[in-house]
Amino acid sequence: MRLDRFLSLHGFSSRKQAKKIVRDGRIQIDGEVCFDYTRSIDGNNKVFFDGKEIENLPYATLMMNKPEGYQSSMIDERYPSVMNLVPESYRKRVRLVGRLDNDTTGLLLLTDNGILNSRLANPKHGVPKTYEVYVNHILHPDLIEKCKQPLDIGRGDIAHVDELEILDESHARITVHEGKYHEIKRIFGKFNYDVLSLKRVRFGPLSLGELKLGECRLLTEEEYDSLLDLVHLQKKDQL
C-alpha cells in the first residue's frame, strides 16, 4: 500500500494532507525519514509520525456491541450511524459487515478487508449467527420441532433454523446462517410472536463476550485468522 494511502487510512489526514506531512519530513520508516509519499508500505515496516509509532496493522477488523437506536449505515440518517461509535482512527478505514436493525443490539463486525467482507456477507458461505430473543408471550416447546423444517416466512423467502433453544418462558437462543431481511423477527412472527428484544451474541467463530454496549474493539489475531479460515481465505493472500 502506498504511504499516502496508509496515512490517510490510519486516520491521520486526507490523502492531500498526508502528502504534505511526508514532504515536510515528519514521517520516518524503519528509522529513516521518508520524503516519498508513493513509497510502498507493508505489514513489516515500522512507521513513525513526529517520532510516535503508527500501529501498522495490515487489516483492521473490529467488533462492536451495537446499542439500540443506532443505524447500521455509514452516515447518520433517521438514527445516528454506528460509525459514531467507532474510534476515530478507524472510522475512515472500515466498512460494515452486514447490518443489524436499529432496535437490535449486539455483535456487529466492521472491516477494511473487502474480500473478507464480501465473503462473510455472501449467503453462499452460510456464516452462522446466533441471537438471543425475548418475545411477547410464553414460548411453546413445540416450536423447537417446528423450526427443524424449512419455514415459509413470506415474500417468497424460506428460512432455515440451525438451532433453537428455549432458555426461559419467553427467552430463546436461535442460530441461522442465511441473513435474510428481518429474518429472526419474521421467523417468530410466523408463529404469532412479536420480538421484544433481539441481541446478536455470535457471528461465526466470534462471540460478543464481555464487550460493553456501545464499545468497539479490534479482533485478536486469533479471532481474525478464524474468520479467514471460515471463508477459506489464506492469510498470506491478505497482506
Residues assigned a catalytic role: 101
Classified as helix, coil or strand, 111 is strand
Give the nearest distance from C-beta 195 to ligand URA in angstroms. 7
Q: What is the residue-wise DSSP string for 80-91?
A: -BGGGGS-HHHH
C-alpha cell at 123: 449467503
Nearer to ligand URA, 201 or 227 (CB): 201
Centroid of chain to Cα 54 = 23
Q: Is 173 in the site for ligand URA (CB under 6 A)?
A: no
Q: What is the residue-wise DSSP string for 179-216?
A: --TTHHHHHHHHTT--EEEEEEEEETTEE-TTPPTT-E
Q: Is 183 in the site for ligand URA (CB under 6 A)?
A: yes
Nearer to ligand URA, 153 or 231 (CB): 153
- In the numeric block, the cell 416466512 is attached to 153
Piece of the chain touching ligand URA by CB under 6 A; list 43-51, 79-87, 167-175, 179-187 = 179-187
Contact string 72-111 vs ligand URA (x = CB under 6 A): ----------------------------xx--x-------
Give the nearest distance from C-beta 143 to ligand URA in angstroms. 16
Q: Is 65 in the site for ligand URA (CB under 6 A)?
A: no
- In the numeric block, the cell 490517510 is attached to 8
Q: Rounded to whole angstroms, how far apart are CA atoms 133 and 167? A: 10
Nearer to ligand URA, 93 or 186 (CB): 186
Binding site for ligand URA (CB under 6 A): 100-101, 104, 182-185, 198
